[in-house]
Structure 1
Amino acid sequence: MELLVLLVVFSLVPAMTYAGVTGKIIGKVTDKETGEALPGANVVIEGSSLGAATTVQGGFIILNVPPGTMSIKASFIGYRDVVFNEVLVHPDLTTEVNFELPTEAIEVESIAITATRPLINKNTTNTTRIKTAEEIEALPVRGFRSIMSLESGVTSVGGRIYVRGGRREEIATYIDGVYQNNPTTGRASGDISNNAIQEVVFQAGGFNAEYGFANSGVVQTITKSGGAKYSLSGEVITDEFLSKSDKTLGTYSYGYNVYNLSLGGPIPSLMDGKIKFYLGAERRFLQDANPSNFAYQKLLLDENGNPLDAQGNPITTAVNDSTGKFVKWDTENAFPGKDGAYKSYQWDEQGIWPDKSSLQWLWNGNITFDFNPIVVRIGGNSQRDNQRLLAGFAPGADYQNTTDGAGVGFSLWNSVNNPKQVSWRDSYHLKVTHTLGSNTFYTAQVNYFRDKFTRSSVMFGDSFWNVGDAVDIGPLGTEGDGITNPYITQNGSKPILDQRSANLFAAFGTQPGLYWKEDWQFWGVKADLTHQAGTTHEIKAGLEYRYNTYKNYAIGGYGAADLHSLAQSLAQVGPDLTAEQAYQVRFVDNFGYDVFGNESGNLGRNDAKNPVIAAFYLQDKIELEDLVMNFGLRYDYFDPAYDGIADVEHVKYELTDQRVYDLKEENFVKNDPWTTISPRLGFSFPVTDRTVFHAQYGKFVQTPELNRLYTSTLNYAWSLQSGNFFTMRNPNLDPVRTTAYEVGFRQQLGTNSALDITAYYKEIRDHIRLVNLDFATPVPYAIYQNQDYGTVKGLALSYTLRRTSRISANLNYTLQWAAGTGSDANTFFNIAWQQGIFPTYVAPLDFDQRHVGTVNIDLRTTKDDVVPEVGLNVLFTFGSGLAFTPVRKQTEVLGGTSGYFPIGQVGSSYGPWVTQMDLKLDKTLTMAGIRFNAYVWAVNVLDFLNANWVYPGTGEPDNDGYFDTEAGQTFLRTWGENGRELYNFLLRNPNMVGPPRQIRLGLRFDM
């Protein structure tokens, strides 16, 4: 019923615009000598069809202005024209430009004035930060995420971003107005080339009613469009001038290579240049996708591949198979024998971690048809990734880029089998804008987004069943043809390396234990209507509808032996065993795909999931001389389009005709859609011409991550039947709700600087956590439920210095307390596994960072200086350590973290402070009308070792304290110093620390 109401409203709204990608220009035209208003004066944006005529009071309003830098001209009969150049317009904001026209004299040329960006924008009622293309080019960072992480209120650690104490999934990302988050995780998907960015607009809470699906922040990236003149630009960045094996300037080459090219302009033969286009592409090849300040400890080998001892002698008996490669080491020499003697390995280091590369292609483009008063824009962006994923380290913390089910041991001599992940992302839109008059316009937009990936063995890819295809480990290969798989002969059952060194490393050739593919896409319609009522009310009404399709397939436990047993099972399919059952015992989780991984649309409850997301909002922005108010209401609708479980503590299953276990139909009950109404209020009012106060209140909701809702009924039933502890998703989840408040003021200091101070508070309810069902039948298990709660309070300071004597600066600082009953949905997995007691009080969250700040200083000479057009941009970031719970020292390698024994309160300890300095030194030179910019870009130039996470037993990123325990001493007595070296190798998870010093050279051209 609620969705029907939305569709009726859709049909009643005759004209709508796509919110968040255009701005507004207001101002007044007066006589320079008398100050009298000039009614009927013409104000136009040069190179476009946008403009307005002044009212009787001399005022004008231009709506639907695309963001960017532009020239605005005012003209009136009997007066000289005045042109303001370099006027900056931002989405959702109002730019004020006032003209004073002199009377016409003998000289009739236009008067050109360079506009100055205001230090204080009285029209913003929340915290809004903007980076323009010029500012982005100067910064020593790349990507909109890195740009956003520089702002106050943001915590960034190990590539993860948290805004004002919210979880990672609470940030909405838009590119050209199209939602870019993958709802299965709630996080942003993909990237855009720096060269293609016009500006990045970041809102840290308090956003208007037109924005939803986010409880903490919104980041909007606007890409460049074609202009009245042709433009061509390109860029090359590399660190290949350095050595990959020997340090130069205190660093290595990490195989960093980025190339991009873009072209834009009019198509002159069509409509007199009213059709404009922009195309851009970027290729990134990173041999180490995420360089770490833990250098890779390389085991030295001889020419035959044998490891060397400390004296340079090979540690091997040189037993060869028919291929001529060694099969087995001399364990009497490699490890302590009966007499206790051993030989230690010989190690070296290099910067690049092997088999952790990334190859990315990015494209974006748009074409605009200006049929004034109708404008049509077709655009989009795409990305293709092929990356290798880190595997086989002590977890220590919930770090990213680690494969599920990979197991210990890939890192030393088996990194060649690090899993691969191939990803596809596509985002396209068609937008039609129609200006009905000087005060009303609408736009309707259709958009399509797709995000899919496949994670698999680098050797076998989608043919994961071939992992067990070897004659010598059973009577049949997986294909039943009796043919030996040569990969398994060398890398599986008869590995090149048999010895599991100190019981820490898997044999060479061990395959990752998970095959996983996911495909999510949506078709969406979003439309809004904007009407300027008089000079004070800007009224917007809009709606959005998205139809999603979500498919998932995962199968685990298919190492060489395991999947071979699956192969044997398949070869023995008969009345007592089916192929489906053979896959089910590997905990296959499938919907939208059958149990074998084939796309299928006839799977009943295991068909692809099609949740529906919709919203409607109404908003009024009132702009008075001394007061700006934003009032809005937002209506959100979510239909999971999947029946819920009537009683999660008493789920029943049965054995089907295919001899697989499935849930009984009696378990299911219709899952009603949820709806909610969220008010948003914002105020901004000047106390003086240099002081502006602002305040905001709002309620925000967002859908739970879809990977917490949906699972295969076969997986659910088999997990119940197996009798083991397991976790299960829950289709009954409710939305996460946040109530947010903020108040602050902006103060201009002198003529060139300003200070913004904002205090904020948030209360978060119904966050998702893992909860034990201790009395569930037939077996207890854990399920996701809406039970977490949190509060956040903080103070954000931002200082801006406009360029003065060649220097500009931005300083940001945040003081924050982020507390809650859980940091993410899986915070209490260990408690659930051990059926312990869950905390019921708020405590510092894992990403609670008390102090965080950035200092960015840009020094730039002009064309007329002795050393012309040289720039130096220095970025200094700092922050206190993250919270963690101190525990009794134990191993993080042998047996994992399931037995943590806390010795302090939850979140009562903090890691070490982190500091980093990046810089970019550039020189601009113009030749034959082409602007060249050459630069040196240094990351972590002081080479600080910064901990992203720490082991909770010690508070250190490379020591778990295990060797201080009796069990650790026993390990050392068994394996000696060689065992210590191998153990420490596994502790030095490269994601535990930040980046090392990196030096890159770049060259950019624009014409």
Structure 2
Amino acid sequence: MNRNKYEIKMVYLTFHYWLKKVFYSQNCLSVIIYTLLLWICISGSFLIAGTTGKITGLVRDASTGEPLIGANIIIERTSIGAATDVDGRYIILNIPPGVYDVKSMMIGYTSVRMVGIKISIDVTTTLHFQLQPSVLEFDEVNITVERKIVRKDLTSTLSIVDNDAIAEMPVEEFEDILALQAGIIIGAEGEIHIRGGRSSEISYLVDGISVTDPFSGELAIEIENNSIQELQVISGTFNAEYGQAMSGIIDVVTKEGGDRLRGNISFYSGDYLSRNNNLFMNIDNVNNVSNVQISMDGPVPLFSKKLSFFLTGRYYNTQGWLYGKRRFIPADSSNFANWNVKKDDVGADAIANTGDAGEGDGSATPGEPNVYVEESGDGAFVSMNPLVKISAEGKLTYRVSPTIKVSYGLFWNKINFREYSHSFKLNPDGDYQQFKNGYAQSLIWNHTLSSKSFYTLKLSDTFFDYKRYVYQDPLDSRYVDPKRLNDASQKAFKTGGTEMWQYYRNTRSFGGKADLTSQINHSHQAKIGLEFRQHNLYFHEFEIIPKRNDGGIVIKPFEPIPAGSASIANNRYRHYPIEAAAYLQDKMEFEEMIVNIGLRYDYFNANAKVPIDLRDADNAKYFMVLSPQDGSIRIWREHEYGIEMGEILDTVNVRGNKWENNYRNAKPVHNLSPRIGISYPISDRGAIHFSYGHFSQIPTFEQLYDNSEFEVWPGLSSTMGNAELKPQRTVIYEIGLQQQLSKNIGIDITGFYKDTRHLLGMEIINTYTQDIYARYINRDYGNVKGITLALEKRRSNSIYASVDYTYQVAEGNASDPKQVFKDAKSNKESEIQIVPLDWDQTHTLNFNITMSQPGSWGLSLIGRLGSGLPYTPKIENVGATFENSERKPPQYSFDLKAQKEYIIMGTVYSVYVKAYNIFDRKNEKIVYSDTGRAGYNIDPPVGVRGVNTLDEFLTRPDYYSEPRRVIIGVSAGF
């Protein structure tokens, strides 16, 4: 007891020291070194994002209660185990998540096997054994152990979903699982927010390897549900081993091959069954969705079960639920304005202006615009949000020895898709095609030094590629003159033309991690880790423009050509940023409390330039030239100068001073983040936890490197990145209670507060040439406060149920980092006080009810209900309104799965039905600002110059959620 009190006091002193050093020291390295030495003094030794769990406990003589020395504890069907010490205690580390049988045995005693022990990532499972003396060597007792409702070592909010639960739920995609977790909000555009943070504040990990796209902050690869062994969502504070996140951690551990060959093949097909065919065009199309997935795992022959594999592959095809109609093709040309335009002016065969006002009879109507309409489409319905996905995922695991395991993992996917564009509804072939390709591969060496120590070495290689264009070849003759991209008036569909930009980007990241974990004594489990990542970022976007002859005259008929590299319509860059990190962490488990304490150091080098003078960011060269005609001195900008203009006398900048390089290397950034979490068991059925921590994140590369050529367009139309952006910072406080209410029911109540500073925003810069641009800086701020209540009924009598409710208020000065830029363009003052953020959902309720008899039948129902998200109202004749001061309608959705299993000759066959949005609810994601509804607005009627009516254009199927979808599938497994 005295030892524990001493250690608790040292925890306080250590953390107090860290806080002082973090906030007052200018020397980050000295803090790390001193803290490391102090930790050695406390613990006597040291200690990976977590991918394994831990078992600890006591073994006693059942008749006397005395501890048994040297009793063996083994995890069956593995090589993992330990022996008890002089106090009868044992500890087993480095256990992959899953369900195991754990056996304790000793000569002269009856062996005891505990069946169905569930191990989770970074969670301590306590198993106490009592062995009866016996003269029979093979006596054995089996005990089925139920999962504990209260996790006493939990110091912050954690949601765990295992592969068995995923198989029972009506979910198809990885994101569907996340949407059911407490504290997670799905925004109007489908983006994921955790506890009120921006969608880019989440870190995604697979087997401890980051799979977050550093350019956008989104998930870089697809994760198939079949691959998941365990999914953890850490929505509260998280340990020092996790970095580059401010809102939460999504941690996935994938399956490994088993000790026998198993396989499964599944197929399903489905369609949208919606009564809203007046809103969703062609929703009655048959067989809209199809899916085939194959999985297999087991030992590799000839390797004596040392080498095992897991493989899964999936093909998914959906035509979506948003359709257009091909009334027009890109080559069509129309004119709705009152001017004398002929079709040959846009580069095609001549057709005289008929003077038809739109009635189609060729006659002119006095006082109305002269029009002509070329309509060459076949009238077919065309999907405008289709998606085709092919993915393959696998893992090879080689057990070199009982203590060494090497694994290689690969995730690969290819996705072709389109996003609905309302203006192209009648000219669907003119809109963009989009492509995502990516892979993540890892090589992991895991070496167990003893039952109390192990280390892990990881190498990773991730790649993400994104493309967007109408036709891949920029010289494709199907590109037409931009004049044909004619939407006639603001609320009219396009009747010809194509999008004229092409966009390419990819990021390849190489990483290495080294981690050491050691159970120093019964109270301390310490960790130390290092991490390094090198990124290779490529970006290129350009506009396709009309080709010109040597005299600068546009060639007719139209010929497409990419804008030149010197043009502001052509942006290209490549950068090689570097990340590094180190952390120290100690998990202290005493009888009185459990403490997680840690410190993380992060380093980032953008490897880029920044302008020295922001008012001359493009650093333009001007030549002072002696004119050969009259001997005068003239000034020409660099790209305007030609040798015939005369001799260059000097090179100056925009202010007339001698031109010099106006750029310098961006400075690297350093950051320290202390964190602590405490759990205090108040009984054998309850525990209180408190946690506090500092969390930081480098802004995404999209903002860091935006407009890396520092080009400034005329007027306020340019944005510019900033390679010296500071880390964004969040301080999180959390307090919670876990309480078991009955044998199978538990409740978890958690309150939280987040204070976020240095968020990404913008500032407006005026140049010497009176042009204006917006530059990213750390200026935005916000805070989130809320409470989560989760009630869970452990599976009993074939029924499992859970429900969680979240109340939260998410506020900030801006939801969009570009808000200052947008406000300046519309001559509006930016907010200086906090307002509700776009994803501020005050009330959220999720539930899951599953009734099943494993191996026979199952029925599962999940529901999501949420209050309306905010929007900014538009009030007629009122110049200013309060941002996000009104609310959209509430949202709800219910999904259902029913399945029946049959076993025939050793093969398990399953027939299932899944229904999504079973009540065909039209959730209004986006609304008109004057009504707050998606279905109508009350703007004054305007005359539409086009082929549609105003009502037709204002009918927006993309403003609503996905309609009811039903799929029927079969699977076979052995």
**Equivalence for 1:873:** 860
Structure 2 residue matching 1:745: 3-state secondary structure: strand
Contact 1:875 / 1:918 at 8 angstroms: preserved in 2?
yes
C-alpha RMSD of the superposition: 3.9
**Equivalence for 2:393:** 364
Q: 2:80 aligns with which of 33, 44, 50?
A: 50
**Equivalence for 1:680:** 675
Q: 2:538 aligns with which of 543, 551, 561?
A: 551
Post-superposition offset of 1:193: 1.4
Post-superposition offset of 1:741: 0.2
Contact 1:3 / 1:637 at 8 angstroms: preserved in 2?
no
**Equivalence for 1:283:** 315
Post-superposition offset of 1:130: 0.4
- Aligned pairs for 1:246-645 within 5 A: 253=286, 255-270=288-303, 272-288=304-320, 291=321, 296=323, 332-334=358-360, 338=365, 354-370=383-399, 371-391=401-421, 393=422, 409-412=423-426, 414-457=427-470, 460-461=471-472, 463-464=473-474, 466-467=475-476, 485=477, 487=478, 500=488, 504-508=492-496, 510-556=497-543, 558=544, 562-565=545-548, 582-585=564-567, 587-591=569-573, 608-645=574-611
Structure 1 residue matching 2:424: 3-state secondary structure: coil
Matches of 2:455 and 2:640, distance apart in 1: 54
**Equivalence for 2:147:** 117
- For 1:670-703, what per-residue CA distance to the aligned partner results, in whole angstroms no more than 9, with x for missing partners? 3221111111000001111111000100000000
**What amino acid is the match of 2:218?**
R
Contact 1:22 / 1:66 at 8 angstroms: preserved in 2?
yes
Matches of 2:126 and 2:352, distance apart in 1: 76
**What amino acid is the match of 1:838?**
S
Matches of 1:712 and 1:119, distance apart in 2: 52
- Aligned pairs for 1:505-904 within 5 A: 505-508=493-496, 510-556=497-543, 558=544, 562-565=545-548, 582-585=564-567, 587-591=569-573, 608-651=574-617, 652-654=619-621, 659=639, 666-714=661-709, 716-717=710-711, 719-720=712-713, 722-723=714-715, 725-774=717-766, 777-861=769-853, 869-888=856-875, 903-904=880-881
Matches of 1:822 and 1:633, distance apart in 2: 30
Post-superposition offset of 1:252: 5.6
Post-superposition offset of 1:351: 14
- For 1:623-674, what per-residue CA distance to the aligned partner results, in whole angstroms no more than 9, with x for missing partners? 1123100010011111111122223234332269983899975321332211
- For 1:506-564, what per-residue CA distance to the aligned partner results, in whole angstroms no more than 9, with x for missing partners? 233x22122010011111111111110111100000011101111100113x3xxx334
- For 1:292-313, what per-residue CA distance to the aligned partner results, in whole angstroms no more than 9, with x for missing partners? 6xxx475889xxx999xxxxxx
Q: 1:1002 aligns with which of 939, 959, 969?
A: 969
Cα 1:72–1:268 shift into 2, 3 Å: farther
Instruction: Structure 1: state its 5+ residue gaps.
Output: 308-320, 394-408, 468-484, 573-578, 592-607, 864-868, 891-900
Matches of 1:357 and 1:250, distance apart in 2: 13
Find runs of 4+ consecutive structure 1 residues off by over 6 angstroms: 1-9, 241-251, 325-330, 339-344, 350-353, 660-664
Matches of 1:19 and 1:133, distance apart in 2: 20
**Equivalence for 1:896:** none
Post-superposition offset of 1:583: 4.2
- Aligned pairs for 1:938-949 within 5 A: 938-949=915-926
Cα 1:351–1:616 shift into 2, 3 Å: farther
Matches of 2:246 and 2:461, distance apart in 1: 24
Post-superposition offset of 1:19: 2.9
**Equivalence for 1:199:** 230
Cα 1:87–1:331 shift into 2, 3 Å: farther
Instruction: Structure 2: state its 5+ residue gaps.
Output: 1-25, 335-346, 556-560, 624-636, 642-652
**Equivalence for 1:472:** none
Cα 1:340–1:1001 shift into 2, 3 Å: farther
Cα 1:854–1:498 shift into 2, 3 Å: closer
**Equivalence for 1:88:** 118
Q: 1:213 aligns with which of 244, 249, 253?
A: 244
**Equivalence for 1:179:** 210
Contact 2:789 / 2:804 at 8 angstroms: preserved in 1?
yes
**Which segment is superposed worse, 677-686 or 86-95?**
86-95
Post-superposition offset of 1:199: 1.4
**What amino acid is the match of 2:528?**
A
Structure 1 residue matching 2:614: 3-state secondary structure: coil
Give TM-score, length-normalised by structure 1: 0.81
Contact 1:643 / 1:670 at 8 angstroms: preserved in 2?
yes
Matches of 1:502 and 1:2, distance apart in 2: 58
Contact 1:386 / 1:423 at 8 angstroms: preserved in 2?
yes
**Equivalence for 2:341:** none
Matches of 2:504 and 2:553, distance apart in 1: 22
Structure 2 residue matching 1:447: 3-state secondary structure: strand
Cα 1:882–1:565 shift into 2, 3 Å: farther
**What amino acid is the match of 1:83?**
R
Matches of 2:292 and 2:620, distance apart in 1: 55
Post-superposition offset of 1:156: 1.1
Contact 2:46 / 2:518 at 8 angstroms: preserved in 1?
no
**What amino acid is the match of 1:221?**
V
Structure 2 residue matching 1:333: 3-state secondary structure: coil
Percent identity (aligned): 30
Cα 1:567–1:610 shift into 2, 3 Å: farther
Structure 2 residue matching 1:983: 3-state secondary structure: helix
Post-superposition offset of 1:47: 1.6
Cα 1:89–1:563 shift into 2, 3 Å: farther
Post-superposition offset of 1:337: 5.9
**Which segment is superposed worse, 417-426 or 540-549?**
417-426
Matches of 2:116 and 2:960, distance apart in 1: 42
Post-superposition offset of 1:799: 0.6
Structure 1 residue matching 2:926: 3-state secondary structure: coil
Post-superposition offset of 1:830: 2.5
- For 1:704-754, what per-residue CA distance to the aligned partner results, in whole angstroms no more than 9, with x for missing partners? 11111114554x23x25x455322222221110000000010010110010
Contact 1:502 / 1:979 at 8 angstroms: preserved in 2?
no
Post-superposition offset of 1:993: 1.6
Matches of 1:936 and 1:521, distance apart in 2: 40
Cα 1:786–1:60 shift into 2, 3 Å: same
Post-superposition offset of 1:260: 1.2
- For 1:207-250, what per-residue CA distance to the aligned partner results, in whole angstroms no more than 9, with x for missing partners? 00000100000011111100111111222121169899999999
Contact 2:356 / 2:372 at 8 angstroms: preserved in 1?
no
Post-superposition offset of 1:961: 2.8
**Which segment is superposed worse, 224-233 or 98-107?**
98-107
Matches of 1:693 and 1:7, distance apart in 2: 31
Contact 1:621 / 1:629 at 8 angstroms: preserved in 2?
yes
Matches of 1:169 and 1:779, distance apart in 2: 31
